[in-house]
């Protein structure tokens, strides 16, 4: 029995890694070499950088740190270290070409599987780290594909879109009663360092948007002078908006038949019922002020997503303990875009909020920092080096986030100007 356990765990790990890899390769399968290799924007890496970076990370953490082996190509380490090589310069490097990057991925994977077979997955932490890293870069690659308007692989067909239930604008709210709650990842099982330690806190009563803000509601904001009324904007937000001449969310255009939106698979009429996406924190903040609202703090967000007032416990997911499924949340890249607000009533949180997980990342009012008692694990560059540097927290994952890498305690972070990510808004209000 004892002897078969590690082997079973090693083959489960191998299967998970294989599934992640299949998806990574599918994302680029039908793109041209030029599209995979080009630096389309200073905001995004060339796709081929992501590919080789996934390999370098796996070599470092599974082969080298876990297995004790040397790096396959030590001379590549700096070029594919996210920290030493920021996005804006990645286009100017002698990157591996597509074929070389794919070969690097395959060779590292072979070494990693040997390590897993030889010494097993250990406590599983480093395997999970590497697996989630690849899954997260899948979302990054989808951002790049959408941002550069490359069109995804025809193999990535969207699942049918659920109908819009109607009645959701993002301005409807539900009450979250005041009192104690529990924040952060549970003690057992994998979680990133920034989700721990789990702790109790007191969140006074407040109201939160039943759904994220929709395109129709954002359109009213735009047409009602949202980008012109100085009083709704912070000083920093206003100068960003002026400098970049921002007048609507990313990907919007006006056509003869009305507003259109660049979706990952092409132009489409702007869908009024879908959550707005590609807005910066500055826009989210201005929108909230224009509506006499504010952004939720991340403690408020997590309490709304998980706290069950009736039992005095935090649920694992908004709907309960069961793992995510397509009925409950639009995660996992199947929809290739957000679903209409309120389309997943089975995913309802205890307070009545809908769509807390999936569809669009939701900006919060909170700066990214460590919870009290934070310990960097397994390395400072994952989270700690971003603390206190002006990054804002986003919660809830998007349609492009994989289920395995997205829970109610997951914290994402980005700068307040960023909007090439799949970012949207859920409002909050002080209790009346």
Specify the length of the chain in residues: 432
Site for ligand AVJ in 396-415 (CB under 6 A): 412-413
Residues 75-104: x/- map of binding to Fe ion (CB under 5 A)?
A: -------x----------------------
Q: How far apart are CA 99 and CA 214, in angstroms?
A: 41
Q: Residue 83 or 244: which CB sits closer to ligand AVJ? A: 83
Instruction: Tell me if 418 contacts ligand AVJ by CB under 6 A.
Output: no
- What is the smallest separation between the CB atom of 341 and Fe ion, expressed in angstroms? 31
The DSSP H or E segment spanning 210 is none
Q: What are the φ and ψ backbone dihedral angles of 349, each rounded to 5 degrees?
A: -80, 165
Q: Is 240 in the site for ligand AVJ (CB under 6 A)?
A: no
Instruction: Tell the smallest beta-carbon distance from residue 402 to ligand AVJ (Å).
Output: 12
Site for ligand AVJ in 69-108 (CB under 6 A): 82
Phi, then psi, of 197 in degrees rounded to 5: -75, 150
CA pair distance 220, 234, nearest whole angstrom: 20
Q: Are 253 and 260 in contact (CB under 8 A)?
A: yes
For tokens 């307040």, name the residue. 416
Nearer to ligand AVJ, 36 or 394 (CB): 394
**Cβ atoms of 45 and 140 closer than 8 Å:** yes
- 249: tokens are 């969310």
By CB under 6 A, tell whether 140 contacts ligand AVJ. yes
**Residue 82 or 325 with smaller CB distance to Fe ion:** 82
User: Rounded CA gap, 22 and 16, in Å?
Assistant: 10
By beta-carbon proximity to ligand AVJ, the closer residue of 169 and 412 is: 412
9 interacts with ligand AVJ by CB under 6 A: no
Binding mask 152-191 for ligand AVJ (x = CB under 6 A): ----------------------------------------
Cis-peptide into 197, omega within 30 deg: yes
* Virtual torsion, Cα 422, 401, 31, 268, nearest 10 deg: -40
Q: Which residue is nearest to Fe ion (CB)?
A: 82
Nearer to ligand AVJ, 82 or 171 (CB): 82
Locate the DSSP E strands across 270-410: 307-308, 313-314, 361-367, 392-395
CB of 133 to Fe ion, least distance (A): 6
Residue 376 contact, options ligand AVJ, Fe ion, none, Cβ 5-8 Å cut-off depending on partner type: none
Which of 73, 100, 107, 136 binds ligand AVJ (CB under 6 A)? It is 136
> DSSP string covering 36-51, please?
HHS---TTS--HHHHH
Contact call for residue 384 and ligand AVJ (CB under 6 A): no
Which part of the chain contacts ligand AVJ (CB under 6 A), choosing from 132-140, 183-191, 200-208, 355-363? 132-140
Query: Closest Cα to residue 65, out of 346, 351, 379?
Result: 379
Nearer CB in complex with Fe ion: 82/171: 82
Q: Which stretch binds ligand AVJ (CB under 6 A): 33-41, 101-109, 133-141, 158-166?
A: 133-141
Is there a contact between 147 and 111 (Cβ–Cβ < 8 Å)? Answer: no
Taking the mean position of all CA atoms in its chain, how far away is CA 24?
A: 16
Token output for 257: 């038949």
* Residue 207 touches which of ligand AVJ, Fe ion, none (Cβ within 5-8 Å per kind): none
Which chain residues interact with Fe ion by CB under 5 A? 82
Which chain residues interact with ligand AVJ by CB under 6 A? 82, 133, 136, 140, 412-413
């Amino acid at each position: 029995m004892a002897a078969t356990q590690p082997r079973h765990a090693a083959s489960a790990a191998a299967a998970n890694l294989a599934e992640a890899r299949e998806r990574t390769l599918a994302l680029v399968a039908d793109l041209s070499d030029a599209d995979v290799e080009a630096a389309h924007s200073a905001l995004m890496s060339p796709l081929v950088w992501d590919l080789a970076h996934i390999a370098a990370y796996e070599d470092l953490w599974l082969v080298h740190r876990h297995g004790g082996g040397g790096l396959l190509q030590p001379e590549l380490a700096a070029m594919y270290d996210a920290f030493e090589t920021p996005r804006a310069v990645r286009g100017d490097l002698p990157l591996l070409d597509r074929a070389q990057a794919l070969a690097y991925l395959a060779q590292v994977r072979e070494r990693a599987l040997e390590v897993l077979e030889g010494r097993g997955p250990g406590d599983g932490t480093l395997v999970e780290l590497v697996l989630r890293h690849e899954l997260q870069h899948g979302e990054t690659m989808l951002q790049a594909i959408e941002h550069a308007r490359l069109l995804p692989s025809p193999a990535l067909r969207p699942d049918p879109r659920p109908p819009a239930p109607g009645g959701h604008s993002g301005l409807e709210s539900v009450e979250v009663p005041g009192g104690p709650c529990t924040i952060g990842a549970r003690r057992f099982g994998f979680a990133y360092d920034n989700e721990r330690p789990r702790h109790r806190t007191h969140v006074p009563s407040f109201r939160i948007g039943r759904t994220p803000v929709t395109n129709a509601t954002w359109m009213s904001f735009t047409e009602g002078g949202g980008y012109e009324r100085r009083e709704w904007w912070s000083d920093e937000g206003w100068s960003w908006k002026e400098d970049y001449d921002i007048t609507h969310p990313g990907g919007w255009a006006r056509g003869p038949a009305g507003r259109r939106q660049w979706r990952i698979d092409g132009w489409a009429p702007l869908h009024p019922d879908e959550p707005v996406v590609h807005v910066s924190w500055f826009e989210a903040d201005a929108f909230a002020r224009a509506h006499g609202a504010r952004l939720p703090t991340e403690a408020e967000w997590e309490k709304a997503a998980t706290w069950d007032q009736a039992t005095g416990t935090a649920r694992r997911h908004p709907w309960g303990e069961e793992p995510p499924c397509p009925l409950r949340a639009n995660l996992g890249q199947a929809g290739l875009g957000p679903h209409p607000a309120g389309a997943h009533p089975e995913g309802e949180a205890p307070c009545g909020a809908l769509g807390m997980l999936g569809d669009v990342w939701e900006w919060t009012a909170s700066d990214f920092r460590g919870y009290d008692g934070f310990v960097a694990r397994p390395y400072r560059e994952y989270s700690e080096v971003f603390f206190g540097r002006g990054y804002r927290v986003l919660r809830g994952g998007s349609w492009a986030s994989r289920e395995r890498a997205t829970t109610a305690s997951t914290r994402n972070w980005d700068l307040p100007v960023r909007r090439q990510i799949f970012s949207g808004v859920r409002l909050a209000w002080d209790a009346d």
